[in-house]
Amino acid sequence: MKKLNLMIIVLFLFSAFLFGVESEPSEIVGYVAYDCVEGPATNNNFIALPMDTGYVMASELGDAYLGQIDAISRWVPSTQSWFTASYAAGTWFNDFELDPGNSYMINVTEAIVFYSVGSIVPPIQYNLIEGPATNNNFIMVPLDRSDLILASGLGNDVGVVDAVSKWVAGTQSWFTASYAAGSWFNDFDIDIAMPLMVNITEAVNWPDMRHETRY
């Protein structure tokens, strides 16, 4: 992901107004746009689904960008590995169900802007679990957490994180802020709707006020 363009648009249904009937705004919708670029070898880009796009399956999302996306991957924390739906010969293989609010890796065949368009999803709680070796989990910075502006701030808010990583599509590699001896190293800016990988030191639900925030 070279750059994250964010615009949450509040749209009101004006039909009642046009017909002279008083009505409260009935829906909040909008979009988030992710600039997806070609890399030096592979073309993987990290996206999230902060909006309820209406796509139920990975294949539906892929079909919306047919010819531009040929693989969609989800992270499986319990095995610390990717599960990938891929497109070939006119068919999607290993299709899987999408979850609004979660993060995914897509492989593009050309530079595109990926749009997550729809109604705003309810607040997401991530069940961050320990894996068989490493403990990486994938999250999205919640839309209501504009107070989180640094990777270190997110790590401290979760409280049991010793690494926060962002995907750099231009180099097809991770850039990681790490926590050790009471300090964060290689900190970087984050924003709402940004997909990130976090490594945890113990299982935790986040956001969840039952855990202690580390400051």
- For residue range 78-90, list pLDDT tens digits in order: 999 999 999 999 9
pLDDT at 10: 37
- Domain boundaries, position 174: 126-206
Q: Which of 120, 142, 173 is the last residue of a domain?
A: 120
Q: Which of 56, 87, 120 is the last residue of a domain?
A: 120
pTM (2 d.p.): 0.85
Instruction: Examine the domain organization and report whether 74 and 130 are in the same domain.
Output: no
Rounded CA separation 213/215 (Å): 6
Instruction: Examine the domain organization and report whether 94 and 165 are in the same domain.
Output: no
Mean pLDDT over each residue of the chain, to the nearest integer: 87
Instruction: Examine the domain organization and report whether 85 and 7 are in the same domain.
Output: yes
Count how many domains the chain has: 2
Instruction: Examine the domain organization and report whether 65 and 154 are in the same domain.
Output: no
Instruction: Examine the domain organization and report whether 74 and 137 are in the same domain.
Output: no
Instruction: Examine the domain organization and report whether 89 and 152 are in the same domain.
Output: no
Instruction: Examine the domain organization and report whether 71 and 36 are in the same domain.
Output: yes
Q: Is the pLDDT of residue 136 over 90?
A: yes
Residue 85 maps to a domain: yes
Instruction: Examine the domain organization and report whether 18 and 81 are in the same domain.
Output: yes
pLDDT at 208: 76
pLDDT at 18: 30
